[in-house]
Amino acid sequence: MIVVIKAGTPEVEISRVCDELSTWGLTPEKIVGKHKVVVGLVGETAELDPYRIEEISPFIESVLRVEQPFKRASREYRHNEPSEVMIPTPNGDVYIGEHHPIVVTAGPCSVENEEMIVATALHAKKMGAKFLRGGAYKPRTSPYSFQGHGESALSLLAAAREASGLGIITEVMDTPDIDKIAEVADVLQIGARNMQNFSLLKQIGKQTKPVLLKRGMAATIDDWLMAAEYIMASGNAQVILCERGIRTFDSKYTRNVLDISSIPVLRRLTHLPIMIDPSHGTGWAHFVPKMALAAIAAGTDSLMIEVHPNPKKALSDGPQSLTFEQFGELMDQVKHMAAVVGRGEREPAMA
């Protein structure tokens, strides 16, 4: 349920409404949007009569039911206003959300050594990316495949952050690793394979860094939004949803099927920001640029692109990684497409 507060209502009156609703055994959450303040209500609201709530205060405009099972993640919960995630990085605060320029995250699948991760970070920065991606802990299909360098790769990510000023996005696979990864990462990634690891979701929701939640390869959009709900219900509302391709009957030409239609669907269902990963989505470097541009045209807020100094020698995901040169070309196209849809970098205002 949400309580829509009238414009211009004094703070003290909003607090009074929240205090009263707390005494009813509900958890009120004040959400300040660009146009409205709403109070989200979580708890046993099924039997509650909205008119009884409206009677609490003359400052209440309306009381609406949230019909979706994912309450906090639903678009209704913010009265149709998109949320944004703000991430402080050494190069400045980066916003990901519907009213902001397209943000690009780039980097290798795995952190292999200091030289390659720093070189990739510097190139990504030069081309306009805002985040460096790279796995220290790698979820691999085969136990015999390279599993990532683990903890020692975290200090290499820290070195790349320092050299480039880019924010770091890296995956957490296991609950005991959360704190040490959060010391280095600006955004914690939950990978496709862990999207429904509920104990991990609950723990990641208890820490304060933003979370990139990848869609499970066989997850419906409702499953995915319920996974986001787990994180939000544990206290962390800074969730970005990342579509990375789903499994279908046809895996002959692409590794996964990138569900571009999830973008407008998510827009309708949720206020959360969206990222698209065409690298895992297609599995082939050749297809990545077209799908990246299609994702911008369809309304994504951000992209995740795998880039490697020498994809042929990559320890993981080489075939889907762009070379530096290919990434530079793609970034030129991204800038054009972003401008076409009104999501280009804003020019600094003239003095």
Ligand X SMILES: O=C[C@H](O)[C@H](O)COP(=O)(O)O
Ligand Y SMILES: C=C(OP(=O)(O)O)C(=O)O
Establish if 112 lies at the interface with ligand X (CB under 6 A). no
Establish if 167 lies at the interface with ligand Y (CB under 6 A). no
Establish if 244 lies at the interface with ligand Y (CB under 6 A). yes
Q: Which is nearer to ligand Y, 171 or 186 (CB)?
A: 171
| Partner whose footprint covers residue 244, from ligand X, ligand Y, none (CB < 5 to 8 Å by kind) | ligand Y
Q: How far apart are CA 209 and CA 82, in angstroms?
A: 19
| Partner whose footprint covers residue 171, from ligand Y, ligand X, none (CB < 5 to 8 Å by kind) | ligand Y
Q: Taking every pair of C-alpha atoms in the chain, what is the biggest distance, in angstroms?
A: 67
Q: Which is nearer to ligand X, 3 or 240 (CB)?
A: 240
Q: Which residue from 214, 267, 271, 308 is in contact with ligand Y, where contact means CB under 6 A?
A: 214
Q: Which residue from 16, 36, 140, 335 is in contact with ligand X, where contact means CB under 6 A?
A: 140
* Pairing verdict, β 2-5 and 60-64: antiparallel
Q: Which is nearer to ligand Y, 40 or 107 (CB)?
A: 107
Q: Which is nearer to ligand X, 139 or 299 (CB)?
A: 139
Establish if 109 lies at the interface with ligand Y (CB under 6 A). yes
Q: In terms of Cα–Cα distance, which of 245, 230, 206 is closest to 73? A: 230
Supply angle C-alpha 16, 43, 232, rounded to 5. Answer: 95
Q: Which positions from 179 to 198 touch ligand Y by CB under 6 A, shown as an x/- string?
A: ------------xxx-----
Q: How far apart are CA 155 and CA 157, in angstroms?
A: 5
Give the C-alpha distances (Å, rounded to integers) separating 46 from 79, 191, 230.
19, 34, 20
Contact 121, 161 (CB under 8 A): yes
Strand ranges, E, within the chain: 2-5, 27-32, 37-42, 60-64, 84-89, 92-97, 103-107, 131-133, 167-171, 187-190, 211-214, 239-243, 274-276, 302-306
Q: Which residue from 139, 150, 309, 328 is in contact with ligand Y, where contact means CB under 6 A?
A: 139
Establish if 23 lies at the interface with ligand X (CB under 6 A). no
| β-bridge partners, 126 | none
CA 83 from chain centre, in angstroms, equals 11
**3-class secondary structure, 201:** helix
Q: Which is nearer to ligand X, 82 or 107 (CB)?
A: 107
Q: Which residue from 81, 171, 177, 186 is in contact with ligand Y, where contact means CB under 6 A?
A: 171
Establish if 281 lies at the interface with ligand Y (CB under 6 A). no
What is the smallest separation between the CB atom of 172 and ligand Y, expressed in angstroms?
11
Establish if 280 lies at the interface with ligand Y (CB under 6 A). yes
| β-bridge partners, 29 | 40
Establish if 277 lies at the interface with ligand X (CB under 6 A). no
Q: Which residue from 109, 132, 184, 291 is in contact with ligand X, where contact means CB under 6 A?
A: 109
The 8-class DSSP code of residue 112 comes to -
Establish if 123 lies at the interface with ligand Y (CB under 6 A). no
Residues that bind ligand X (CB under 6 A): 109, 138-141, 145, 280, 316-317
